[in-house]
Copies of this chain bind each other. A is one copy, B any other.
Amino acid sequence: MTREPLFDTVGLIGIGLIGSSLARVIRRKGLARRIVACARRDSTLETVRTLGLADAVTKDHAEAARGADLVVISTPIGTNGMIARTIAPVLTPGQIVTDVGSVKQAVIRDVAPAIPEGVHFVPGHPLAGTEESGPESGFDTLFEGRWCVLTPPPGTDPEAVERVSELWRQAGSMIDVIDADHHDWVMALTSHLPTLIAFNIVGTVADMENHTRQEVIKYSASGFRDFTRIAAQDPVMWRDVYLNNREAVLEMLQRFNEDLSRLQRAIRWGEGEELEDLFRRSRDIRRGIIDAGQA
C-alpha cells in the first residue's frame, strides 16, 4: 500500500494478549511508522524484542507516550489512573489516548482528569480475548468480526474518535459508540457475570479434597472443562473488573440468584415442565448468536 499510515508513532502501554495482538495488526497492515512498547517486566520486554513486536521497548510509561500520536493503554484497569498521571506531563495537544479496558465509567473517572487540555481521550473496549495472556499469546486476527465499543464522553473530538475507529476497523472489527454507563451495564451481564460464575464454579471444585479434585479433572469433558477455560483468564485483570464495576455486577448477580433459586425449587419439587421450558428458551438465544455471526 502506498497510502499514508494512519499514525506516525503508536505507544503501547501494556503489551499482553490485547496489546500484542494490536501490535501485530499494526505491523501487518502498516498502520504506523513506529511502535513503542512499554511493560513492567524484563521478561515481557524480552519477549516483545524476540517477537519483533515493537521498534523500541521501555519500562517507562512516559517514554512510550512521548511524541506518540496514539497512546493505547492495555493494562489491568486498576493501573490506568496512575498511568494517566505518569504520562500527563509529556502529553502535548493533538495526541490521542485510548484504552481497551472492560469497564468504562471507572476508566473515564480515573484517566480523564489527568489528560491535559487539547489531548484527546477516546475510551475503548474491543470485545475479544482468549484464555491466554502475555505478549506471546497474541495473534493478528483476534479482533476480526468482533465488536469494538467506544465510549467517548460528551465533547470528545469527533476526528479523534474517527481515527481510533479506523484503527479497529483495520483490525477487522465493527464499531459501536455508546454511553459508558450503558456499556458497563451490558458488559456486567454479557461478560462480567458469566466470568464470575465460571470462577466460582471452578473455585467450588478447587475447595474439594484432593481425591475429588483429581476425579473432576479426569471427568472434566462432561461439562466442567468449558468453565475452566473461561476461569483461566488473567486474575489481576478480572479482579480490577469486579472492583470497578461493582454496582452493575451486584445487580446482575441478584437477578442470577433469583433465577437460580427458582431452578433449585423446580428440581427439589420435580417440576419437569418448568425445567424443560427454561432449557428450550436457552436454545433460542444460542440460535440468535449463531445468526448474528458471533458463535
Q: Which residues of A contact B (CB under 8 A)?
A: 78, 102, 127-129, 131, 146-147, 149, 186-187, 189-208, 212-233, 235-236, 238-240, 242-243, 246, 249-250, 252-253, 255-257, 259-260, 263-264, 266-268, 270, 272, 275-276, 278-286, 288-289, 292, 294-295
Find A201's partner among B193, B206, B239, B267 (CB 8 Å cutoff): B193
CB pair A289–B186 under 8 Å, yes or no, is no
- A283 with B235: CB separation less than 8 A: yes
CB distance from A237 to the nearest CB of B (A): 9
* Contact A228/B127 with A190-B223, A243-B270 known, Cβ cut-off 8 Å: no
Q: A217-B285, A218-B292 are in contact. List 18 more A-B contacts (CB 8 A).
A: A78-B272, A127-B219, A127-B222, A187-B219, A190-B223, A191-B224, A194-B201, A194-B224, A197-B260, A199-B282, A203-B282, A206-B281, A221-B294, A228-B282, A228-B286, A250-B264, A253-B260, A257-B257
Closest B residue to A264 using CB positions: B253
Known: A223-B230, A225-B294, A275-B243. A216 touches B189 (CB 8 A): yes
Q: What chain B residues lie within 8 Å of A257 (beta carbons)? A: 257, 260
Cβ contact of A222, chosen from B187, B264, B292, cutoff 8 A:
B187
> Whose C-beta in chain B lies nearest to the C-beta of A270?
B243
**Which listed residue, B220, B238, B246, touches A190 by the CB 8 Å rule?**
B220
21 A-B pairs whose Cβ atoms sit less than 8 Å apart in the complex: A131-B286, A147-B218, A186-B219, A189-B205, A190-B222, A191-B219, A201-B256, A203-B263, A203-B278, A203-B282, A205-B285, A206-B285, A207-B255, A213-B285, A217-B294, A228-B289, A238-B275, A240-B272, A242-B267, A242-B275, A249-B267
> In the docked arrangement, what's the CA distance between A227 and B295, Å?
11
Contact of A228 among B235, B272, B285 (CB under 8 A): B285
Asked if A225 and B292 sit within 8 Å, CB to CB, the answer is no
On chain B, the residues within 8 Å of A281 by CB distance are 202-203, 206
**A255 CB to nearest chain B CB (Å):** 5
A289 to B225, CA, bound (A): 7
Q: Report B-chain residues with C-beta under 8 Å of the C-beta of A233.
A: 279
Whether A259 contacts B200 by the Cβ 8 Å rule is yes
* CB-defined contacts of A260 to chain B, threshold 8 Å: 197, 200, 253, 257
